[in-house]
Structure formats: C-alpha cells, structure tokens
Amino acid sequence: MDNPKLRANICDMDTDIVITGGGLAGTSLALALAQTGMTVTLVDALSVDAQRQTDFDGRSYAIALSSQRLLQTLGIWPALDADAQPMLDIKVTDGRAGEGPSPFFLHFDHAEIEEGPMGYMIEDRHLRRALLDAVATTSGITHRPSTQVTAQNTAGPGVTVTLSTGDTISAALLIGADGRSSGTAERAGIRRMAWGYDQTALVCAIAHEKPHNGVAHQFFMPPGPLAILPLTGNRSSIVWSETTQNAARINALSDAAYLEHLRPRFGSFLGEISLAGARFTYPLGLSLANSFIAPRLALVADAAHGMHPIAGQGLNAGLRDVAALAEVLCDARRRGEDLGAPTVLDRYQQWRRFDTAALALATDSFNRLFSNDNPILRFARDIGMGAVQSIPALRRGFIREAAGLTGELPKLLRGQPL
Amino acid sequence: MQAQQSTVDAGEVAKFEAMAAEWWDPNGKFKPLHMLNPCRLDYITTQIAAEFDRDLGAAAPFDGLRILDIGCGGGLLCEPMARLGATVVGADAAERNIPVAQVHAEQSGLNIDYRHTTAEDLAAAGEQFDIVLNMEVVEHVADPLTYLTACQQLLRPGGLHICSTINRNPKSFVVAIIGAEHVMRWLPKGTHEWNKFITPDELFDLLGKAGLTPVDRKGFVFNPVRWDWSLSDRDLSVNYVTAALKP
C-alpha cells in the first residue's frame, strides 16, 4: 500500500502566478491566464483610481486586427465596440511642410485583405476601463492595487514575492509587466540595451470640421513622421515627431500657436481643426531586455521591449507577448509541467524575442529612411512607394504586416480560445 | 519531509542533488528526453483525460487516480502526473535513480513514491493501478510478452496502459541508432539494439496476447526545422506510442 504520508502533494503555492504591473499588458495577461483556470495575483503600484481615469486625456492606441481578436476572445470587446473607431484605410505619403504631399503615396485599403477593417483606434481610458472591469469580475484574479513588490526570491520550489504591505506570496512564476523601468527585471539582474533618437513625439487629439471616413494618414516629413489616426466622431489622434529641440519649443507654445504649427503639416483636407484633449510629449527610443526570462521569471510588453511608435506597434507587440506567454503557460499546465521551469520559459523566449528584435530593427530603419531630407533618399522613397503601390501582392503583404496578421500567431491573436 | 529521507545517508544527499540537477538540466545529458517530454505528456494527459473523463483545465484533474511509471528515471513523467493530482508510484530497475528522483521531488514540493523494483515484482505483490505508463522500456526487456503481461496484471479492470517504443525498419535504424547515437550523440552508443525494436502491428499483437485491448496509436515525429517533436496520426516510422485498455 502507499505510504499514508505520501497521500497529498504539498506543492501548494499561494497562487499559480504573480504579475507585477496593472497596466494594459498586466491586466490582459491576468485575464487570459485566469480564464484557463490559473490563479493569478495582480500587484500594481498604482491605485485603481490612477489607472481608471475617466476624462479623455488625448492618449489612444491603434489596435491591430490580431489584437482586437485577442480582446474579443478574452470577452472584452463588447465593452469596447461602441467606443472603437474602425480604421478602414491607411494612406502613407512622403511630404515636406508647405509643399504638400509628393505625387507617390501608398494606399492600403482594407478591402484587399478581406478580413474586415485593418484595425481600430481606441482611447486609453476606454481600454483601461474595460480591462479593469473584467479583472474585478473574474474569479481567480486577486487584484492588489497601491502595492509595491519590494523583493523576489527564487530559492526553494517556487518564487516568493515580498510586498510593501509586508505580506509574502509564493507562486510558480513571477511575470514582470511593470513597464520600461521594470523593477522586476532590475531585481533579477536583467539589463537592457537602449538606443535613443534625437526625436520626440508630440501627441494630442484634435477635433475637425470634416469626417475622416475611417482613414488613417501617415506623412513622412524630414523631422519625423506625422500620423493622423481616426477617433470616433469628427476627431483624430495626432502623433507628430520632431527633433527633440523643436518638440520642446513647440510644446512650450500656447494651444493656438501649437495649432498654427500643426496646420501646414497636414493641410486643410479635414477642414478647421481644434485641440480635443491634453497635449503630451514622448521621447522616442528603442530598448530591448537582454533576456525576456530568468529563473521563475518572465517579462512582457514594455518591461521586455520599448519600441519606436512609428507604426503603432508598441501595444500590439505587448499583446503578442501576452498571447504567446498565456498559450505557453496554458499548455504547460495541462501537461502537468512546472510553470516556472526553464524548459517552459524557454518556449516563450524562443517565440517572442527574435520576433521583437526583428520588429524593433525594422521600425528603426524605416524611421531612419524616412526622417531625412536627403534628396537621393527622398527620390528613392518616392520610387519605392510607387513600386509598392503598383504591385498588389507586395501591398497586401504590407497591409497584413500592419494588421499584425503575419508570423506564427498565438491562438488568442487568431481569435481562438486557449 | 518524507519517510524515505531518513534512509538516505546525509553525505550522499549532495551527490544525489547533483545527479538530480543533471537529470533535470534541459540542455544536459538528458536533453533528448526533455525535448520529447512535452509531446509524450500531451499524449498521456489527453488519453487519461478522455478515458477517465477528466477536464485538464480543472485544478488537480487527476485526483483519485493511481499511476505507475515504469522506468521512471529522474521523474520526468512522475512529477507532472503528481502535479496534476494523481497518486504516483515511480519504479526503476536502476537503484541509483531512486534517491535522485526522490531528492528532486522534494525540491519541487511533490510527494511521489519512488521504488527500486520491477513490473514483475509489483505484480507479484498484488499492486493495482488505474494507469500504467510504460514509456521507452519495452525495447530494452528480454521477453516483451512476459513483461507486458505483468503490466496488464498491474491494472484494475478498465485501466489504461500507455506504451511507447521504436519501430523496426531501415529508417528507424538510420534515425534512432546512426542518427541519435552516432551523429547527434544524443544517446550513448549501444543504448538501443535494432533487432529489439518492435513494429506497431507486432506491439498491438503482443498487447492483445498480454490481455489488453489496443485502442490508439500515434507517431512521435521530430521536425528538424522547428527542432521539436509533435504527434502524428500517420507517421509511426520511428518513435511511436500506443494506448490499450484492460477489459
């Protein structure tokens, strides 16, 4: 007979997974994991009120189609649909201020990919609200807002996390979703490579006279790209890159003077414009963690990589991490594997790190090519755009990449449950 | 923590810990087993869940099931089964594996009953299990029919027997012996004797003669581009796995 002492397994942890950081990546990962039956403790240094601001502050995201499918599969989309602006078309133009667009421009039409719109524009406040509401009503998630992690220890069978409240939590795995200056990564001794640009993005929302018809525009200007992305109603989100020196000067201007600088850059096709929210500046840079994993630890989203926002790929890349890690962990749990085992974490790193480095380099070189007033490069860009425009297959490839539909997609991004 | 702990000489523990670390190093000596393990576990867990009507998404889905792993080694299959809630006995004919597996289970916070014994001795002692895992063993035994009959005796009626081995054909000779032992050096030379390999039809026949009803077979296929293993319905040409029930 079995030894009676051997009846019960004693690997009981307080929770399967601890996630640090309650932003967009942390909350969506907590939902994805809890929905497969795992227990998750979500530790966030910020308060719920700080995460859940209700006034529109001007920040918004271009959600790729694949990211929209993830939100749909997690059950979040119905709460967002009414506030989401479908992006039906993306027009890419090379131009110089005051000269208008060059004769060649790229025109990506959603009708060419037969998968609905190319993506959606969603305001930050709506996305946060939907995710936090779902976190609050999902069993299996213990949300600990206004709490910091002060220490993490991987000696012993799992990882033990010490909180600012003095509590300790044991888990099989700790996931850092705590942003660019991730304390989780720092405590694990993971360093990051970073490249700065002498560029700063000016971000704001504008209201305009004429409808945008769901069309997004990207103008490539010598100082940096200008993106005009459609929000619900007669509003658009502006991401306007300038040299850091120019950006500081423009940002110091009054609202009226700020708009005077903006008007000639995209012309009058939307009619009269006015500001529809606060103005922000973000210094542009690229960064990549030396490793996405460490013993009993994985990093996701901005904690793992920071991206040039040129193609709106930051949040989408973060959600790809979320989908890939959730799938790796769900499969491992169903097999009875240790969720924090090196073999399991390696699968996540293999899946995501190369992909991320490739995307970071691609957006980097794209930006270097376009943020330039060299006449030879400008000519090459015009020819290149003309070529892409005239070859439908090549254009479809660009559209699918922009919509996040290429590469080996995790199930959640294909709209399949785990 | 465990009853067996007291029987292990304290000076030996460090040595066993080092050996356990070697067994569980995904890039170490047992790398080929670590690479194959997710695929083996996918098959085993899916078969058990289907046969005993368990939901793999639930907490401790294998609660109440008693599982025997024959040739348990360092516990690469026993630990996942215990983590899924099963009561697990790991048996190995190599005595030195037992304390090594025990040390690692304790480090993982799992209770697993590891024993230095054989299928035949366990059957003679009247032990009964819901599931017998018989992975990569049958190609090493002297008399497969006697061995499989002992495995059958260890099962309760309605019990599930999962058995994997290597097919016998020119391809398996090239892949499993020349490739794995001589070229890749994944396995020590002499690990396998090709004439002891068994074709799927021969194994089904042997399982039937041992009193089991074969119900399923699948291939374990290595993809050199993706560098990992997957299950195949059609390609059983080298490594393959079978499921059989005790009536």
Indicate the pLDDT class of residue B81, thresholds 50, 70 and 90. very high
Give me the residue from B57, B84, B109 closest to A336, CB to CB.
Answer: B84
Q: Provide the number of CB pairs (under 8 Å) joining chain A to chain B.
A: 73
Contact B66, B89 (CB under 8 A): yes
Cα A84 to Cα A71: distance, rounded to the nearest angstrom: 12
pLDDT for A393 equals 53
Q: Kindly report the nearest CA distance between residue A39 and chain B, in angstroms.
A: 10
Partner-chain contact A10 B109, CB within 8 Å: yes
Q: Cite the annotated binding site of B for S-adenosyl-L-methionine by residue number.
A: 40, 71, 92, 135
Instruction: Identify whether A200 is part of a domain.
Output: no
Q: What is the pLDDT of residue A179?
A: 92
Q: Please state the separation of Cα B60 from the chain's center in Å.
A: 20
The answer to whether position A302 is within a domain reads yes
ipTM metric? 0.89
B129: tokens are 């299990």
Domains located in chain B, CATH noted: 3-166+195-245 (3.40.50.150)
Range of the domain at A47: 17-195+284-414
Residue B6 has what pLDDT?
39
Q: What is the pLDDT of residue B79?
A: 97
pLDDT in tens, A51-85: 887 776 777 888 888 899 999 999 999 999 999 99
Band the pLDDT of B1: cuts 50, 70, 90: very low
Judge: B57–A2 Cβ closer than 8 Å, yes or no: no
Decide: A110 and A117 in contact? Cβ < 8 Å.
yes
CB contact under 8 A, A3 and B113: yes
Look over chain B and give the mean of its residue pLDDT values, rounded to a whole number. Answer: 89
Q: Is residue A181 part of a domain?
A: yes
Higher pLDDT, B211 or A55: B211
**Structure confidence at residue A141 as a pLDDT band (50, 70, 90):** very high
pLDDT of B2 strictly over 50: no
CB proximity list for B119: less than 8 A, separation 6 or greater: B70, B91, B132, B134, B147, B150, B151, B154
Listed range (A384-398, B155-169, B205-219) with the worst mean pLDDT = A384-398
Q: Mean pLDDT, chain A, as a whole number?
A: 82
Of B34 and B224, the one with more pLDDT:
B34
Percent of chain B scoring above 70 in pLDDT: 94
On chain B, the residues whose CB falls within 8 A of the CB of A157 are: 107-109
Determine which of B36, B45, B84, B103 to mutate to test the interface with A (most A C-beta atoms within 10 Å).
B84
Across-strand partners of A89? A109, A215
Tell me how many domains chain A contains: 1
Kindly report, residue by residue over A70-129, the tens digit of the pLDDT: 999 999 999 999 999 998 887 777 665 555 545 445 555 555 555 668 889 999 889 999
Cβ-defined contact of B26 to A343 (cutoff 8 Å): yes
Per-residue pLDDT at A344 exceeds 80:
yes
Of B37, B108, B112, the CB nearest to A157: B108
Over residues A181-229, the pLDDT tens digits come to: 899 999 999 998 887 778 888 888 999 999 999 988 888 777 677 888 8
Write out pLDDT tens, residues A350-367. 888 766 666 555 555 555
Q: Could B82 and A9 be called an inter-chain contact, meaning their C-beta atoms sit closer than 8 Å?
A: yes
Contacts of A351 in chain B (CB under 8 A): none
What average pLDDT does this structure show over A382-408? 53
Q: How far apart are CA B113 and CA B102, in angstroms?
A: 8
Phi, psi of A286 (to 5 degrees): -120, 140
Please check the confidence at residue A399 and state whether its pLDDT lies above 60. Answer: no
Q: Do the Cβ atoms of A11 and B81 come within 8 Å?
A: no
Q: What is the pTM of this model?
A: 0.86
Provide the H-helix boundaries in A236-312.
244-251, 255-266
B26 at A interface, C-beta within 8 A = yes
SS3 B220: strand
Residue A374: what pLDDT?
54
pLDDT higher than 80, residue B111: yes
Give domain status of residue A308, yes or no: yes
Radius of gyration for the alpha carbons in chain B, expressed in angstroms and rounded: 18
Nearest residue in A to B78, CA atom: A336
Name the residue with higher pLDDT: A50 or A183. Answer: A183
Whether the predicted pLDDT of A47 surpasses 50: yes
Cβ–Cβ below 8 Å for B41 and A10: no
Of B1, B42, B59, the CB nearest to A335: B42
Q: What is the mean pLDDT of residues A222-245?
A: 86
Question: Which residues from A are below 8 Å from B107, CB to CB?
Answer: 157
Cβ–Cβ below 8 Å for B38 and A158: no
Question: Is the Cβ of B126 closer than 8 Å to some Cβ of chain A?
Answer: no
In a domain, A277, yes or no: no
Best to test chain B binding among A17, A335, A337 (most B CBs inside 10 Å)? A335
Q: What's residue A396's pLDDT?
A: 55
Percentage of chain B lying above the pLDDT 90 cut = 65
Mean pLDDT of B102-128: 95
Contact between B83 and A338 using a beta-carbon 8 Å cutoff: yes
The CATH number of whichever domain residue A91 belongs to comes to 3.50.50.60
Question: What residues of A are in contact with residue B112 (Cβ under 8 Å)?
Answer: 6
Question: Nearest CA to CA, how far is B37 from chain A (Å)?
Answer: 10
Whether A310 has a pLDDT exceeding 70, the answer reads no
Residue A285 to chain B, least CA–CA distance (Å): 33
B200: pLDDT strictly greater than 80: yes
C-alpha gyration radius of chain A: 23
What is the structure's pLDDT at B105?
Answer: 94
- Asked whether residue A212 is domain-assigned, the answer is no
Whether residue A381 lies inside any domain: the answer is yes
Percent of residues, chain A, with pLDDT higher than 70 = 76
Exposure class string for A137-152: b at 16+ Cβ within 10 A, else e: ebebbbbbbebbbeeb
Q: Sorting pLDDT into bands at 50, 70 and 90, what band is B188?
A: confident
Residue B63 has a pLDDT of: 96
Of B38, B112, B113, the CB nearest to A335: B38
Predicted confidence (pLDDT) at residue A389 exceeds the cutoff of 70: no
Query: CA of B112: how far to CAs of A173, A357, B13, B125, in Å?
Result: 22, 42, 17, 19
Closest residue to A336, CB basis, from B3, B45, B57: B45
Q: Residue written as tokens 């594996």?
A: B97
Is the pLDDT at A288 greater than 90? The verdict is no
Whether the predicted pLDDT of A340 surpasses 80: yes
Q: Does residue B110 have a pLDDT over 50?
A: yes
What is the pLDDT, as a whole number, of residue B211?
A: 97
Q: Is B115 near chain A, with CB under 8 Å?
A: no
